[in-house]
Amino acid sequence: GFSLLLYFPLRWLLLFPVVSLICLGIGCSGRAVICQRGVLEEQFDPLSLQDDDIWEELKKPAPAVSETASATPSSPAVPDTSQREGPKYVQGFRVQIFASPDRERAVQAQERAEMILEEDVYLEFEAPYYKVRVGDCGSAAQAEKLLEKLRKKGYHDAFRVRTTIQLQPDR
């Protein structure tokens, strides 16, 4: 048979890789471009979000300090949790009636539900969805009763979800 060496003499076989390496070296060389990065300063003010729960925290009056507590500085100040007002958070159930990646649509669904229902209606965000959920049920049985009630009111696609709920002190 024919040999490659007949068509390509040995010197060409040695010269080809050398020329290729030189061309590669020239192509890869060049002036280095240095990108200067500026300093980016970010500031975040949570009050600019107009988030309701932040404003509620600001509207709450500061707890009064009793005179006896300030008269005895050697005793550590321990808050009395037995007399604490406000919601308690526990594991429970709610009924989900709507979910959308569009916040505006979820807010509209929440507002409609608040007009129709007596129960508390919550808008929760779990990426990427805004979810409208109803009620604070301490048991699955309570959630099932609420689910049936909501289905009778037109929320046929509603379903029970396990989540953290608020228990109000007066309930």
- On whether residue 43 sits in a domain, the answer given is no
- On whether residue 115 sits in a domain, the answer given is yes
Q: Give the tokens for residue 55.
A: 């404003």
Sorting pLDDT into bands at 50, 70 and 90, what band is 20? confident
Say which CATH number the domain at 98 has: 3.30.70.1070
The pLDDT score that the predictor gives to residue 17 is: 75
Distance CA 108, CA 26 (A): 64
Which residues span the domain enclosing 115? 88-167
pLDDT in tens, 22-47: 877 776 666 655 555 555 566 656 65
Q: Give the tokens for residue 3.
A: 């040999």
pLDDT in tens, 95-133: 999 999 999 999 999 999 999 999 999 999 999 999 999
Q: Give the tokens for residue 161.
A: 């979800």
Domain count, the chain: 1
Query: Which of 142, 130, 139, 141 shows the shortest CA–CA distance to 96?
Result: 130
